[in-house]
């Protein structure tokens, strides 16, 4: 059984509610779709038990009433586990920085560009928008358009 298929099998064995929501897209890609309530458990299982010791990045998605989050994990040998979840825009996801201290920058990016709320993040500068960027304007939201072509004026 390939690496990817083994991981799929282990996930479903440990979390039966994931049946039908995990697949091996190819030899080095596993995709997992999980509800927010079950996210932490699945995430920690992948990181601690299945040794996905690398967080490549976190992708944000505007899904209307919710924000989508994809945590792109990887481990030695090349296998990736992409864990998708979603959260209503006015609610918070918990920070993953206790596990991945370097991961805060990906969370700050979501906060700036999508208005995501991340609970528990240590204090720090925002990233990547400029200091004079107007509050409440999150450019990667689907309905966000600059007021004029090019940079908005302060």
- List 131, 135, 136, 143, residue binding other proteins (CB under 8 A): 131
Between 14 and 53, CB nearer to other proteins: 53
Three-state SS sequence of the chain: CCHHHHHHHHHHHHCHHHCCCEEEEECCEEEEECCHHHHHHHHHHHHHHCCCCEEEEEEEEEECCEEEEEEEEECCCCCEEEEEEEEECCCEEECCCCCCHHHHHHHHHHHHHHCCEEECCCCCCCCCCCCCCCCCCCCCCCCCCCCCCCCCCC
Residue span 76-115 as binding mask against other proteins, x where in contact by CB under 8 A, dash where not: xxxxx-x-----------------xxxx-xx------x--
* Span 61-80, contacts to other proteins by CB under 8 A: 61, 70, 72, 74, 76-80
Asked if 6 is part of the footprint of other proteins (rule: CB under 8 A), the reply reads no
């Amino acid at each position: 059984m390939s690496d990817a298929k083994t991981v799929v099998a282990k996930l479903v064995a440990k979390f039966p509610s994931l049946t039908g929501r995990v697949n091996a897209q190819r030899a080095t890609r596993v995709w997992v779709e999980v509800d927010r309530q079950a996210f932490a458990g699945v995430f920690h299982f992948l990181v601690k038990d299945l040794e996905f010791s690398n967080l490549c990045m976190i992708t944000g998605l505007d899904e209307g009433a919710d924000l989508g989050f994809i945590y792109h994990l990887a481990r030695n040998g090349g296998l990736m586990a992409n864990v998708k979840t979603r959260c209503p825009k006015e609610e918070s996801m918990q920070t993953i920085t206790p596990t991945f201290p370097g991961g805060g920058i990906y969370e700050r990016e979501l906060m700036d560009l999508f208005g995501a709320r991340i609970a528990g993040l240590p204090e720090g500068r925002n990233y990547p928008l400029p200091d004079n960027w107007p509050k409440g304007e999150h450019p990667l939201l689907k309905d966000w358009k600059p007021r004029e072509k090019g940079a908005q004026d302060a």
